[in-house]
Chain A
């Protein structure tokens, strides 16, 4: 017994403990707040768009940008693990400046990576910058990018129960766009239940049903975004 005690004490003596007690997200939260402050000063509104892969983010953005590009100066940052298909698609379909960010294998963008991306855009010439985050419902929700607002796109085939499965994503979103409304008759997607589940996670989140393919409902999202940008620049 005493021998065990001695060994334990030996182990304890050989190691010194330094207390840290710090959230892993603290540095990123601080960087994100600083970035938001700078964007406010420059009058640039940053929207962070998140969703799972294949929900129709890029198509929804093209429809939205085409409704706003005569009223606002817009730029897009596409974040992906690899490739530049989305940035090219946006540029071809809307004619606005769009750059591709690579996350180097990471599943999300953080505030520092967002800042590096913004450094590559002429911010003095933009009212609205849209960040298309990596398609993923887990990690992007944990890392504040420094955006003014978060939007997430949920498509009908994914099911109405997503807010129950990815609570954090829905609790950090200011607006939830329900895409692919045209296929609603073919899926067991319950819109009322979906709205109820979103409200459970985030009572303030606005839900906007759209069909990016036909453009139906996109006006409502574009109007919301336009009002947001105006308010951000004027306040």
Chain B
């Protein structure tokens, strides 16, 4: 439900980056989206299509999503494990002293522009 708001932020950042690089048309935007970032990729691309087509610079521009797997680190045994399968409790030693290493990203990785 928050994906549209996120899309407005992406559009603002992409337009700024395009202007900085003297680009007039952007054909693709690549996002890094963490597995536990609370973003639903399908909603994000739906909202993107609706909002991006209203911007001349982004008409037809495709939003591509890289999913970043969530990994949690255990402070007690020093090992890493998949957050989605095991949550906060370390499957190796049962400790709850764990923290998320990655998987929370909502990041614009790069933009693609037609080569002229």
Contacts and interface: CB of A to CB of B under 8 A. Distances in A.
A138 B28 contact: no
B86 interface: no
Interface string B95-111: 01000000001111111
Given A24-B9, A27-B12, A16 B112 contact: yes
A168 B13 CA distance: 24
Interface residues of B, number: 30
A17 B111 contact: yes
A15 B28 contact: yes
Interface of A: 13-25, 27-28, 105-108, 110, 136, 138-139, 142-143, 168, 200
Contacts of A108: 2, 5
Nearest to A139: B2
A90 to B, nearest CB: 25
B72 to A, nearest CB: 12
B107 A22 contact: yes
B13 A24 contact: yes
A18 B105 CA distance: 19
Given A18-B23, A19-B109, A24-B9, A200 B88 contact: yes
B113 A27 contact: no
A106 B5 contact: yes
